Structure 1
């Protein structure tokens, strides 16, 4: 089956180690409300946006300065028919040297155009990776969801 997983790429001047550390600082770029540990193999954490989105995620692979893979153990999205579209998918961060720069290839394996949430979810991931994570890597400060506040995904749904 030829599925097109959602991907986006960053190219930065920072080292693979700096990129790796930023990825694992999930509260620094995705949401300040993350519950649980986010940086070691087999860590589990919860991402939640009010009653809109809930994900329980496990770190399946952690290869320092090379790769991080999250496995979505359970997911709930309140704005699509199949509330569990992300369940069983993987979120992959692959870090590589490209000359004197570092490339981050972000792939949400299983987030495909056939999914009802693809439009909203791919837009949200693009914002988180291309804006918030990029800013965390390059300036040391990301733009995560604030605690108990409206988020980019809420805004996308209203448009």
Structure 2
């Protein structure tokens, strides 16, 4: 299985990137998140009503290097296996080189053969390579609206064979 991965490079320090990642509300959803996202062992929740619910546990925080979340519960309304994310991990690897920092996000355990892959790939692409990148550059990400999330699901549903 090939895990879902997105990578980008920014003009920022590894510590600035790390601080942006753990400030999840600023790039994944200010009103969609409940709980502390910056404490090892803490559980927190992400919710888009009638579409997506996930419970994450922050498993690892290494300043300037890595952030790992364990997806411990979840519900994806738009696929048959509603709990497809349960038991997977989100991992951010941070590496500096020549004054820039590379961010690699990997949703471990979510691969091309999984039903939500196309929708999730599109959503993570937005939230990682656009919203998080924008958050690092400007201090504020570009979250999608609930309507935009629903439209993305509909788009992928109609393009499936």
TM-score, scaled relative to structure 1: 0.93
Residue 135 of structure 1 corresponds to 134
Which of residues 18, 25, 28 is equivalent to 1:27?
A: 25
Is the partner of 2:146 in helix, strand or coil?
A: coil
Instruction: Give structure 2 stretches of 5+ with no counterpart.
Output: 156-161
- Alignment partner, residue 154 of structure 1: 150
SS of corresponding position for 1:111: strand
Q: Distance in 1 between matches of 2:111 and 2:147?
A: 23
Q: CA deviation at 1:153?
A: 2.5
Distance 1:39 1:83 in 2: 27
1:4 corresponds to which residue? 2
The normalised TM-score by structure 2 is 0.92
Q: Take 1:52 and 1:107, find their aligned partners in 2: how far apart are those partners? A: 22
Matched-pair contact (CA < 8 Å) for 2:79–2:116:
yes
Q: What does residue 125 of structure 2 align with?
A: 126
- Give the paired residue count: 154
Secondary structure, aligned partner of 1:110: strand
Q: Which runs of 4+ in 1 moved over 3 A?
A: none
Distance in 2, matches of 1:153 and 1:109, equals 22
Provide the rounded CA distance (Å) in 2 between the counterparts of 1:106 and 1:66.
12
**Counterpart mapping for 1:69-108 below 5 A:** 69-108=68-107
Question: What RMSD over aligned residues (CA atoms) do the two structures have, in Å?
Answer: 1.0
